[in-house]
Amino acid sequence: MNFIESLLFLFLIVSDSQAFTSPIQKTSRSHEVILANTKEGNSELVPNRHVECLIVGGGISGSTLAHNLNRAGVDIMLAEARDYLGGNVKSHKTEDGFIWEAGPNSFATQPSIVRIAYELGIDDQLVFADESLPPWVNHNGKLHPLPKGQGGKGAQGQIELVFGPNGVLKFGLAGDLLSWPGRIRAGIGAFLGHQPPPEGKEETIREWVTRTLGEEVYLRCIDPFVSGVYAGNPETLSMKAALPKIARIEKIAYSLDWNKFGAIFYGGLARQVELTKERKADPPDAAWPEFEYGNPGSFREGLSTLPNAISAELKDKINLEWKITKIDKGSDGEYVATFETPEGVQTIQAKSIVSTVPAHSLADVLQPVMPESKSIFEKVRSEISRVGVYHPPVAAVTVAYPKASFKDVELPNGFGNLQDLPGFGSLNPRSEGVRTLGTLWSSSLFPGRAPPDYNLLLNYIGGSRDVGLADLSEDEIIAEVDKGCRQVLLKKDAPEPKVLGLKIWPTAIPQYELGHLPLMKELETAEAKLPGLWVCGNYQTGVAFPDCVTFGYEHAKTVKKFLDTVVVESQLQETVKVSL
Ligand SMILES: Cc1cc2nc3c(=O)[nH]c(=O)nc-3n(C[C@H](O)[C@H](O)[C@H](O)COP(=O)(O)OP(=O)(O)OC[C@H]3O[C@@H](n4cnc5c(N)ncnc54)[C@H](O)[C@@H]3O)c2cc1C
């Protein structure tokens, strides 16, 4: 039966919600410090300003890195092409009582987020969802809840997750998302074993899930989940690049001597034990607000609260509407970055530079210092018809309908009436004929998102398998979204939606597709030749919001270490000069 996918969800969504964390850990390269390189340097550049660290890109990765470096006493500048910090994080509030997001909807809470909120004094604005709210899968005209606990902590939470009213056991025995043959196939893969991974072949998400748990789990559980989170195509996304933590569970499963056929359930259990130990070894600070790992969270007034607080903290260390066009070497071996700004071309000299701008903006910028950049960022992967790192278009469409216009049906497992939208949101497998990938039930997640008589829905539509979305007019996109809501959630006579916002992200989420890891390896090799320059971003260190915040915290340590080494080296050189 299908404890499997509950299993999968147990490890994927519920307990280890950073399932999507990138396998690429930015190594803290101990850069060999090059102090001067006059031959290679471009002596014509006359910088307008000098800083120790220039951070380029003011999304969540860049702004949180800037906060951490500034806190560590580093002289920084943060440069951002748009006129606000946050990148694709943008919250809005309307006068008639709606708070809505133009980009990401929430984060799976991790210590890095609670830490930075505490440091910025916005921890009292953190809001967390009711932990028992499940994601629902739309299948055969019905909504099916995925297993979740009841919000109990520690062991109690795990017991609820397995035996609770919406637990794994109930899902496996009484749920009807999977057919019996589907459950049996999945159960065999989870508890007895499955084919080993093919040698020498990088598997797609589809291949991996089908091999381990069967086609039905893939189609009804994983496909909607992956398209809902990555807006991606599980037939081109690389399992070990896009879902590294889940892929690792199989490795752990095979490492258990007695588990000859790699049944992943036992790998999952072992990972759970490992995770519990890791968390115990590095507990959250007692001064932080209490939180549950992985629980969906946000801020009372939306996710922009975080970049807005960083804006207020860093003030004139931020330059908005500064678009980087080139990174070069100056005559003394330091870096010189050129920007197009409202005040004309500006150049900044920096001991170190961290780029967090999207991969698709980088090839030309890096060319003067990293000749390989074009071949890396524009590499053709003909087997999956890709050039460089693919960022497909996604539209985020926020609409509201009166509660009374939602279907008046009782949901399974005691969740109550659909009109109250008791859940995280609904996912649409591609087989169900609904163009919207997923609908987040925003007003159910966090307080104060909509007036009491309305339900607020954030719909994501487009992605790798629907690039034609970008050719539609705004009215056509809204019509598609409204149609999807009517197919899944609304009564036939529901009124027209109240449209709060439509934002098309032409290059939304980077896709970790087949060949991504070798590409990133090439980038790392090229970067290693350039001490003090780091080329980072969500295409490398993970796409989820918490990954970006964690990057900002961890990478600050690497930059600080580098800068401290530069100071020691230059002091040594001075001493040698004096004593000569
Ligand atoms: C529609 C959508 C929904 C999402 N939903 C979720 C969700 O619910 N939960 C979740 O965890 N994650 C979600 N994500 C993913 C997550 O939000 C992103 O991965 C994360 O915000 C990326 O942050 P970043 O700083 O790495 O990149 P970005 O936000 O892309 O920031 C990069 C910055 O670089 C700037 N820039 C670009 N070119 C230049 C240049 N030449 N010079 C200077 N600056 C430049 C850009 O303007 C931008 O501000 C979503 C993403 C999208 C697009």
Of 505, 527, 548, which residue is a domain's last? 505
Instruction: Give me ligand 1 centre to Cα 384, in Å.
Output: 24
The structure's pTM equals 0.91
Please name the helix (run of DSSP H) or strand (run of DSSP E) that holds residue 437, with its range, or none: strand 436-440
Residue 397 structural domain: 91-121+390-505
Q: Report phi then psi at 477, rounded to 5.
A: -65, -45
Question: CA 374, CA 387: separation in Å to the nearest integer?
Answer: 11
CA nearest neighbour of 115 among 159, 153, 64: 64
Residue 13 has pLDDT above 50, yes or no: no
Q: Is 62 in the pocket of ligand 1 (CB under 6 A)?
A: yes
- pLDDT, position 576: 63
Domain co-membership, 341 together with 488: no
What would the mean pLDDT of 141-153 be, rounded to a whole number? 88
Domain co-membership, 345 together with 395: no
Mutate to test the pocket of ligand 1, among 225, 357, 436 (most ligand atoms within 8 A of CB): 357
Instruction: Give me ligand 1 centre to Cα 103, in Å.
Output: 9
What would the mean pLDDT of 125-152 be, rounded to a whole number? 92
In sequence order, the 6+-apart residues with CB closer than 8 A to the CB of 255 are: 267, 270
Of 505, 526, 561, which residue is a domain's last? 505
Question: CA 47, CA 337: separation in Å to the nearest integer?
Answer: 8
In sequence order, the 6+-apart residues with CB closer than 8 A to the CB of 43 are: 330, 331
Residue 200 has pLDDT above 50, yes or no: yes
Task: Report residue 134's pLDDT band, with 50, 70 and 90 as the boundaries.
Answer: very high
- pLDDT, position 570: 67
What would the mean pLDDT of 308-333 be, rounded to a whole number? 95
Please tell me the residue having the least CA distance from ligand 1 atom 14. 104
Residue 1 has pLDDT above 60, yes or no: no
Q: Is 297 in the pocket of ligand 1 (CB under 6 A)?
A: no
Answer yes or no: are the C-beta atoms of 493 and 449 closer than 8 Å. no
CA nearest neighbour of 445 among 130, 147, 150, 110: 130
What would the mean pLDDT of 71-81 be, rounded to a whole number? 98
Domain co-membership, 80 together with 98: no
Residue 372 has pLDDT above 90, yes or no: yes
- pLDDT, position 23: 44
Residue 130 has pLDDT above 60, yes or no: yes
Residue 31 has pLDDT above 90, yes or no: no
Centroid of chain to Cα 417: 31
Q: Which of 120-134, 246-260, 463-477, 561-575 is least confident?
A: 561-575
User: pLDDT higher for 14 or 318?
Assistant: 318
Please check whether residue 288 lies inside any domain of the structure: no
Q: Which atom of ligand 1 is nearest to the CA of 102?
A: 1
Please tell me the residue having the least CA distance from ligand 1 atom 50. 104
CA nearest neighbour of 440 among 142, 221, 134, 87: 134
Domain co-membership, 63 together with 107: no
Please check whether residue 479 lies inside any domain of the structure: yes
Domain co-membership, 142 together with 277: yes
Please check whether residue 367 lies inside any domain of the structure: yes
Answer yes or no: are the C-beta atoms of 405 and 471 closer than 8 Å. no
Q: Residue 434: which CATH number?
A: 3.90.660.20
Q: Which of 261-265, 294-298, 360-364 is least confident?
A: 360-364
Instruction: Give me ligand 1 centre to Cα 563, in Å.
Output: 27
Q: What are the tokens at 43? A: 């002596």
Please tell me the residue having the least CA distance from ligand 1 atom 38. 357
Domain co-membership, 13 together with 159: yes
Residue 495 has pLDDT above 50, yes or no: yes
CA nearest neighbour of 426 among 411, 413, 414: 411
Residue 34 has pLDDT above 50, yes or no: no
Task: Report residue 7's pLDDT band, with 50, 70 and 90 as the boundaries.
Answer: very low
CA nearest neighbour of 525 among 349, 325, 300, 375: 375
Domain co-membership, 159 together with 14: yes
Task: Report residue 33's pLDDT band, with 50, 70 and 90 as the boundaries.
Answer: very low
Please check whether residue 328 lies inside any domain of the structure: yes
Residue 36 has pLDDT above 50, yes or no: no
Domain co-membership, 140 together with 271: yes
Q: Which of 64-78, 107-121, 403-417, 557-571 is least confident?
A: 557-571
What would the mean pLDDT of 446-451 be, rounded to a whole number? 97
- pLDDT, position 571: 64
- pLDDT, position 488: 98
Residue 38 has pLDDT above 90, yes or no: no
Domain co-membership, 149 together with 275: yes
Q: Residue 211: which CATH number?
A: 1.10.3110.10
Domain co-membership, 138 together with 269: yes
User: pLDDT higher for 455 or 567?
Assistant: 455
pLDDT digits (tens, 9 = 90+) for 399-411: 999 999 999 999 9
Q: Report phi then psi at 15, rounded to 5.
A: -90, -30
Q: Is 228 in the pocket of ligand 1 (CB under 6 A)?
A: no
What is the SS3 string spanning 365-419?
HHCCCCCCHHHHHCCEEHHHCEECCCCCCEEEEEEEEEHHHECCCEECCCCEEHH
What would the mean pLDDT of 381-388 be, rounded to a whole number? 92
Residue 279 has pLDDT above 70, yes or no: yes
Please check whether residue 29 lies inside any domain of the structure: no
CA nearest neighbour of 121 among 67, 63, 58: 67
Please check whether residue 338 lies inside any domain of the structure: yes
Q: Is 370 in the pocket of ligand 1 (CB under 6 A)?
A: no
Q: Pairing between strand 533-535 and 344-355? A: parallel
Residue 6 has pLDDT above 50, yes or no: no
Q: Which atom of ligand 1 is nearest to the CA of 537?
A: 26
Contacts made by residues 189-193, CB under 8 angstroms, sequence distance 24+:
189/4, 189/213, 189/214, 189/263, 189/264, 190/2, 190/3, 190/4, 190/7, 190/263, 190/264, 190/265, 191/3, 191/4, 191/263, 191/265, 192/261, 192/263, 193/259, 193/260, 193/261, 193/262, 193/263
Residue 37 has pLDDT above 90, yes or no: no
Q: Which atom of ligand 1 is nearest to the CA of 394?
A: 1
Mutate to test the pocket of ligand 1, among 545, 549, 550, 554 (most ligand atoms within 8 A of CB): 545
Domain co-membership, 447 together with 414: yes
Residue 167 has pLDDT above 70, yes or no: yes
Instruction: Give me ligand 1 centre to Cα 102, in Å.
Output: 12
What would the mean pLDDT of 134-146 be, rounded to a whole number? 95
DSSP string, 4-61: HHHHHHIIIIIS-TTTT--S-PPP---PPPP---TTTS-TT---SEEEEEEEE--BHH
What would the mean pLDDT of 344-358 be, rounded to a whole number? 97
Question: CA 455, CA 457: separation in Å to the nearest integer?
Answer: 7
Task: Report residue 432's pLDDT band, with 50, 70 and 90 as the boundaries.
Answer: very high
Please name the helix (run of DSSP H) or strand (run of DSSP E) that holds residue 426, with its range, or none: strand 425-427
Residue 260 has pLDDT above 60, yes or no: yes
Answer yes or no: are the C-beta atoms of 511 and 390 closer than 8 Å. yes
Q: Is 104 in the pocket of ligand 1 (CB under 6 A)?
A: yes
Please check whether residue 309 lies inside any domain of the structure: yes
Task: Report residue 574's pLDDT band, with 50, 70 and 90 as the boundaries.
Answer: low
Answer yes or no: are the C-beta atoms of 10 and 305 closer than 8 Å. no
Q: Is 538 in the pocket of ligand 1 (CB under 6 A)?
A: yes
Residue 5 has pLDDT above 90, yes or no: no
What would the mean pLDDT of 492-502 be, rounded to a whole number? 97
Mean confidence (pLDDT) of the chain: 89
- pLDDT, position 579: 61
Q: Which of 37-41, 368-372, 452-456 is least confident?
A: 37-41
In the chain, pLDDT over 90 holds for what percent of residues? 79
In the chain, pLDDT over 70 holds for what percent of residues? 89
Please check whether residue 531 lies inside any domain of the structure: no
What would the mean pLDDT of 240-254 be, rounded to a whole number? 93
Domain count of the chain? Answer: 3
- pLDDT, position 303: 98
Please tell me the residue having the least CA distance from ligand 1 atom 4. 104
Question: CA 58, CA 399: separation in Å to the nearest integer?
Answer: 28
Residue 32 has pLDDT above 70, yes or no: no
Domain co-membership, 362 together with 406: no
Q: Which atom of ligand 1 is nearest to the CA of 323?
A: 42
CB atoms under 10 Å from CB of 92, counted, come to: 16
Centroid of chain to Cα 565: 32
Instruction: Give me ligand 1 centre to Cα 174, in Å.
Output: 40
CA nearest neighbour of 513 among 327, 379, 381, 362: 381
- pLDDT, position 580: 55
Instruction: Give me ligand 1 centre to Cα 502, in Å.
Output: 17
- pLDDT, position 156: 79
| Residue 117 amino acid letter | A
Q: What are the tokens at 571? A: 């002091």
Task: Provide the residue count of the chain.
Answer: 580
